[in-house]
Amino acid sequence: AHDLISLCSPYCMLDVQTESNKFDVVPGMKHISRSDTDENSRSPQWNQQFSFELRNFDEEFLHLSVWDESSGELCCEEALFGKSLFNAKKDESHCFLGQIEIPLKYISCTGVDQWFKLHSRGWMTSLGITGEVRLCIEFASSKNADISANTLYGTYSTEDFYSLCHQLHKYEALQYSLIHSEPWKGPLSLTSRIIINHFAVQCRL
């Protein structure tokens, strides 16, 4: 992260939520993944990996919030609203520095590595929220035999797989024709090959 509001001791809390099961992540929630604390920094570097089990890309989003673990001095939104948030350790306030909500359905199956701007909660003003967090998001096939392809994507058949291949071939040919006079003869682009591979693996075809 960089350009936080002031020198602090920031850490992140991460979780995957759905619109139907949305909640505010606050310090002390035991089932939420938590990064290490980068002491006395405005540009923390965590370089940590976290894994989450996904069940429905259409509804799920990654929620990340940044907090200051320093001495309890109010900052940002809590200072403006005269409130602080507390974790399990009594009288130790951790100040909210901003959050990110990323709908997973908009992330390419090839993943993403980019900076995301921190913003406030919906019921708070954005005044005082600064900084960005760099995230590298990757998808991998589940190794949990209890999670079926139907759970992840619904029911798909071999015919659906062939239909996807056909659509990708049409798309590749169209894109090629826009810049070349001769007909497209392949091969598929790396992105198309990754899409086909992910579909086949995730749906166990």
State which H helix or E strand residue 113 sits in.
strand 112-117
Instruction: Report which of 82, 83, 78, 116 is spatially closest to residue 99, judged by C-alpha positions.
Output: 116
Residue 1 pLDDT exceeds 50: yes
Model pLDDT for residues 30-44, shown as the tens digit of each residue = 568 999 999 988 889
Nearest-angstrom CA–CA distance, 203 and 155? 8
Is residue 82 within 8 A of residue 33, CB to CB? The reply is: no
Q: Which residue has the tokens 């049409």?
A: 170
Residue 18 bridge partners (DSSP): 60
Does the reported pTM lie above 0.85? Answer: no
Q: Residue type for 135, please?
A: L
Instruction: Give me 119's structure tokens.
Output: 């913003």
Model pLDDT for residues 4-62, shown as the tens digit of each residue = 656 788 999 999 988 777 766 655 555 689 999 999 888 899 999 999 988 777 788 99
| Separation of first and last alpha carbons in the chain | 40
Instruction: Report which of 146, 152, 145 is spatially closest to residue 56, judged by C-alpha positions.
Output: 152
Residue 89's pLDDT band, with cuts at 50, 70 and 90, is very low
Per-residue DSSP letter, 86:
E
Phi, psi of 159 (to 5 degrees): -65, -40
Residue 192 pLDDT exceeds 70: yes
- C-alpha 93, offset from chain centre: 26
Is residue 93 within 8 A of residue 54, CB to CB? The reply is: no
Q: Which residue has the tokens 């359905």?
A: 105
